[in-house]
Amino acid sequence: DTGVSQDPRHKITKRGQNVTFRCDPISEHNRLYWYRQTLGQGPEFLTYFQNEAQLEKSRLLSNRFSAERPKGSFSTLEIQRTEQGDSAMYLCASSLRGTGAESSYEQYFGPGTRLTVT
């Protein structure tokens, strides 16, 4: 258990419905990331936050996707009007932020939310 938690662990929804996932990072981590993983592929970056600021969004993140981290702690990822192609494992990760130009910190992943769109 890395200390990153995600809820729910599994979600089955019908096409066209909205879904929301939650991620609680390791408490002292100020960076939070969302990734999507489909079968046979490595995780793909979606977006990340430093504290409450969303600093980067992938072009994979269509306008049906929105992510928030309102108080710089937990984050939510919402998908509106779900499509079958949204079926995937949605992974959240957290890390510390480097304080120098060359510093970087490893990311720790949560257990993921597996989304199935029928």
Partner 1 sequence: EDKVVQSPLSLVVHEGDTVTLNCSYEVTNFRSLLWYKQEKKAPTFLFMLTSSGIEKKSGRLSSILDKKELFSILNITATQTGDSAIYLCAVMEYGNKLVFGAGTILRVKS
Q: For partner 1, which residue of 17, 97, 116, 118 counts as binding (CB under 8 A)? A: 97
Q: For partner 1, which residue of 12, 15, 55, 60 counts as binding (CB under 8 A)? A: 55
Taking the C-alpha atoms of residue 41 and residue 38, their distance in angstroms, rounded to an integer, is 6
Least Å distance, CB 78 to partner 1, is: 20
Could you say which residues in the range 58-77 bind partner 1, by CB under 8 A?
none
Q: For partner 1, which residue of 45, 68, 73, 76 counts as binding (CB under 8 A)? A: 45
Concatenated DSSP letters of 56-101: EE-TTS-TTEEEE-TTSS-EEEEESS--GGG-EEEEEEEEPPPSST
Least Å distance, CB 16 to partner 1, is: 28
